[in-house]
Each structure stands twice: as C-alpha cells, then as structure tokens.
Structure 1
C-alpha cells in the first residue's frame, strides 16, 4: 500500500503542470524540452488557439505546459495562415510561436520562430509556411505566452506566470500557381530609393518586376533608384512550375526629391520596447499621422509627412502616447538645418510625466526658410530621454518635416468665395473685415509688418459676416493682413496712421 502511494505521489509531482500528453499514433517527434510555469497568476497564459482548422479552447496558465500535439491541421507550403491567440488575463502579455520545420525535436529560436507579439492582450498575425520543411509529417507547433514584464518567451525557457502549448502541423506540397503579393518601402521617397519585398504565395520560383519608369528586375527582392519626380505603377509577375500570375499597384510609388530633409546626425534606437510606451499619433498643422507604438522603434516619416507653417505664427502640436503610464515627451525642430538637435533653441516641446501632451509652438523668426527641416519627436518612460540623440528605453523616436515660409511670400487665392471688404483703410484704432458672401468661415486673421514679423494673430473659426480687430499702439506704416478661410487665403495691404 505504501509503495503504491509513493508511486502515485511521484507521478503526480512529475507531471504537475503537464497536461494532455499526446498519445495519438501520429504525434510529432518528442520535443527536447517542455517549458514549465513557475508561478501561475492572474489569468496569464492561453485560453484559445485558432490556426487554419485548429480551434482549441483550454484553461489558462493554471494548467502549465500542455501537449496538444495530436490536435493537428494540414497546411500548404508557400501559403499564409492566420494565427489567433486569446487569453483571460487583464494585463498584456508577450507571445511567441515556433514550428519544428526540420522535425529534429529541437525548436530553433531563430530559424523556426514563426510569430512574435509584444504587449498585447489577445493577438493575431499571419504565418507563411516556408519551402524546404519536412513534408507529409506531423511537426510540433509550440505557442508560448507570459506576462508583459517577464522575459520574452523562448522556445525552451520556463514561463513566470503564463504557459506553453504544443500542437501539430502537417505540411503538404503546393500544387498551385503563385499569387503575386509585394510591398515597397518607402512608398513616398525623397531620395528616389525604394526597396521591394516579395510576399507572394504558393512558392514562386521566378520574378519579373516592372518599376514603371522603363526599368525592370529579375531579383526576388530588388531595390531601385528613381531618377525623376512623379508617381509610378509597380507590376510583379511571378512564376513556378504550375503557372504564373501578374499584379499591379497603380501610382504606388511617389518620388518627390524637393522634400528631402538634411540627414540627421543620429537615429535613436529603442533599447527594449515594453508595455505600450511610444508614440501613437502626431498632429501638427496638416500632419496627422497615426502609427504603432514603440514596438516599431525609430521611424523616419520626414518625406511622407511634412507640413508648411508661417514664420511668426504659433501652431498646436499634439502627441498621443500610450494609455498605461505617463511619459516624457520632447520635440525638436532643426531650425538652422545642420542635422543636429540642440536643447537651447531647437527644443520646442518638453513635457515630462504626462499623457498626450499638447502645446502651442511659436514659429521663430530667423529659421531657414522654404526648406524642409527635420522635426524630431521622442516619447519614453519617465526619466529616459534627455537629448535628441538619446536612445529610448521603452518608447521611440519619430521624425517629420516642417517647411517654414516667409509671410511676405504668401500667395493669395482670388476665388469668388474669398472676397472681403477691409475698412477703414487707412485705419487708426480698429479695422473691420467683412465677407461679401454669407457662407465663408474665417479661420484666422494675421497682421504682418513690412519685414514679415507677426504683430497680431487672432483665431476665429466662425462664420460671422463681419468681424473687427483692435489696432492698439501700432507704428504708422504699411502692413499685410492675411485672412485664412476654409476656402483659401486672402492677402490685403493695409495702412495704419
């Protein structure tokens, strides 16, 4: 009796945290490791895995490592499939997945990792089945999930609070002609250089690229330099032993060499992204760019996202940050266009320990005019970034472009919708602006002196037919009045006596 009890207890201890041990006749080869859950907590782990025909609901990390490798699905090499993972945790997790493509029982953390996700609750993504895997054989498919602040999952690493689950995949050869899919980066370029990545399905063996400017390539993933500004249509034809297919994206690439900014002296990296830190949206004048967070690391949007502002006028700048923790947010504009960001006169926003900062940014007199200038935005965990070249701990840095125009060079639009009466002119203590039409909304009124300095700026955003501005203690002389509406800009020369 005592021996029996000892055996049962030993067996229970041996398999604690190991559930659903596969015992089917077509299970994958035995694995070299079985990651255990060290201290289950708080709903961390996996409650559902969906992949092709697999749709398996389980308990969470309370079960520890689970071998469900007899729950299997059959896929085709060269095809893309969606992996979806759900959890019952209320805090974000890090995820990873591997497939034992060479069927040696060892899950290589580099060559056999097929999925990674950071700082997410439920997650999903595409997995493309590569060519060259062992075919027609059950292969082990491992999925791991653990708390966001724990070490990222590895194929054999134990989990702090989450768990690992194993499934089975059988890969068959693909009998279909290829389906062309590709991406270009960047799609808007200021130096003319674009690199294309083939993402075609069904195992292509040949590629023919037409870049839309008379040049072609037979490489799978070519880079191309455009010599002239314009929009270009990209065409890719892919072939294999089963046939060929062609796809085009019209006006996919935009080349604008006039928008190229001075190269920056540094490109700050993200050291260890975590926990939703980073930049979600930048809004400044006509720029409104929504992005992923710090998981993307440093991003240069200076070619695709630029705006033109006027010397002497202030503009609202809003940085949307992560919602879980306050961040330090700083913004620089390279006003002298030397590629260096200094904290003395180019740091235009410095908001520590805050969510979603907004600030009115004055455009200084004396900056380089009519030239794209680099605007750098950094947002990171409190206390991390101090200068425009500091690496980010958890957050990120993004670059944009700003063009500062001379107010004396403003061009007015003389459409019928932007006709105004300005009186008295000459004026002394006040001036009245009256629209000829009733449906014109005045957004702002700006008065410049004869050397282009702003002496008055008034936000309006109303559709009153008539508005009046006070002119206190202005020097005698000529001035320019800029009337900005939703239809355009009207410039009037006024005299003050």
Structure 2
C-alpha cells in the first residue's frame, strides 16, 4: 500500500489486480474499489542485453521527440541518459511495408542518428538490424522500410533510437558519449496480401528460340510457368528455349500462403528462325559509331519491326578490314517516295562519291551494292510526316580479288542445324576452306574439310555466318545452330 497522493507502484508478478483508494479528512473517510483495474503480464517485458549510458552529456545532444506509427514521445535531451519507453509505446507494422519516421534532436549541434529493430528478439542489436539512419542533422525525417521477411512476427520486440555527435559509432550497444539512447516497442505482422501475378519477356520475337522472363509479381512466394509448348518451370525468373517456330501463349501462376493469382498473354512469343535479329539501327540523327565487323545487319532507326522516325538525318559508316570490299544486301526497302531518301556513299563519310540515292519501294540497285574500297556510308533522310517501314540489309566482307558465287550454286543444309551441316552444290567444286564467324563477325573456326560434312556440335546455340571458299569463288551463308 501507499499513503502518497499520487503513488507509483511496481508489480513484481504477472496477474490481474484490484485497486482500492481510501480518502479521508477531519470529518470522515470514503473508499472506492476498482475491480480488475490493473493487468500485469511480465512475460511481455522486453529485457535488453545492454542499456548504453550517456558517458558525458554536452552541448544539447540527444533526442527531443520520436514519432513513428502511433508513437509520439517528447522527452528531455541527453541529460536524461538512457530512456526505456518500451512499455506502453508500441508501433504496429507489416512485413515489406514502408513507414514515415520523424526524430527531433538537440538543435545546438548536428547529430548522427540510427534506428535498430531487434528482429530476432534476442535483446541485442547488430548492424543487420540497423533499419534507418539520419546523419549530420538536428531534425531527422524519412522512410523506414520493414524487411519482407523477419524471423519473429506478432510479438513485441525492441526498437532502439540512438543519437550522438557526428561520426560516433552506429552499434546498437555502443556507449553514447554526448547524446542518448531511447527504446520503444514494435510488433511486426506478417504480410497477408494475396499475390498479384505479372511478368515481361526480354523479347517477343526470337530468332533462336531463347527467351528470358522477368517476374514482376508482388507478394508471391512460389511460381509456376506455362510456356505454351508443353514445357513448364517453377523458377522465379526463367529462361526458356523454344525448339520450334510458332506463336506461343505464356502464363504465370503466382501463389503465397494467402492466395493465388494468374496471368496469361496470348500469342506473346513469336519464334521465327529466319527473322532478322541482332540488328543495329541507324542513328535517328547525327553520326553512329563506325561498324568494323565483317558481318552484320543494319536497319533504319526504327529497326526491322517498326517504321522509321520523322525528321531524321542520321548517317552510319561501315569500315571493314583492308583487303575487303563492303557488300550490302537489302532484304527490305520502303521509303516515302520522293520525300524520304537513303543516300549511299562509296567511302568513310558523306564527302565520298555518291553511289546513289534511293526512295520508294524498289530494292536499291536490285538489292546488292558493293563498295570499291573497304568502307561505305549510309545516310537516312526523312521529312515530318508519314509512317514507312524503311530498310533492312545484311553487310559482309567481300575479299578483294575473290568473286562471290551465285546463290544457287552452293548451299548448306539442314538449317537450323544440330550437330553438323552438309555443303550442297550442283557442280563439281573443290572446297578450299570453311570459316565460321559469330554474329558480330569474329572468326570462331576455320577448317579445310575433305568432305561435304562440317561438324558444329561444339558450337553454342545461336546465329553464325559461314564462308565457304572454293576454287571458283566464295559463298556466304547464315547458319542457325540449335
């Protein structure tokens, strides 16, 4: 009992307690009883392993007010030293969410302030439990992010605010020199939001069948993919290789402990082994970087699948190793007639001789243009209106002094190939060498086969260029390796 007018009392055991007050004066007394007035649950008491003291308070350092998710506690500065406000000041938050936080500090000098949450409820604080910092300021505000998964949920754990002079340590149990530490409570609840499924592919047109998918689902823990070709995956961000051409519908089912969601995109992926991929686009304006590979694809600034832009004036130079001509082979060409043009110059810039200016929908020079040196320059000009498909071309090196065979004289099959391909010719040709280049023109292998079969089993899947040198000239083919 107590005879104080406004007593403070510490209960040492858990339980529910009645409280009686007797008031009296010289003329009588009166009693009042409050049944079950106080409930004490000492099992919820948070006991820290450290209570950092203020070693030598000075200069106004410390915490004046802390505001966070229902907690709003004004206090003295560091002159009070360590303060435990964990009983009765409880913030309730959810995994994976973000919350505003505000801390007012002693205004005489800037402070470094750090906030910790004892996620594993062991009474200690480590750097992995540091969740917020405000540096070199006397007024801290920002956003505190709760991790998506924490080890202890639906249980009160300790939240610690530490403030000291700029540069002092950020350990949760570090002795404070001039400022102070305050403790509060926080309960983290699990995120019970059901998942939302979503994703994007890296390409919708694939030339080699390989497509990577980026998972944009939220609140999901497990995934199941249907790629539209009888194949599935449970990876979060899978890469899938289609073995056949066609259009494929892709769907994703996302789940967690609280629900299921699915999404499907019909005919999302188009696989076409003959499509033009790995294409370099002309610059919309200005001058593009010089292209020096011996093989490649070039298109207008809109690329092979989109129209070119209006008001363009961009140029591109192809300069291959000395001893080679540059050969352009057009597969598509459509410019607005007599309004938009493609200029082609026989040299490294626009001061070189003009090979021709081309407009309309006829392939330039019948589809093939060859330089007289080792460089060629293209310039695309368009006006302010119209939507036209532009051009797509393949460029290659044509060795000086070696004629290119006509296309119907020599071919390779099967294409796409798995382990090998065959060289087919209608006439008796002595094959001198077979060179294999990757899709940026780097030599991968060169051999002198004594038969018409060429082994490619060692090559990764992808697109390659094949140069077959014969006694009567050279043949250039494109190979898809599966």
TM range, smaller chain: 0.3 to 0.5
TM-score between the two structures when normalised by the length of structure 1: 0.39
| Larger Rg, first or second structure (1 or 2) | 2
TM-score between the two structures when normalised by the length of structure 2: 0.40
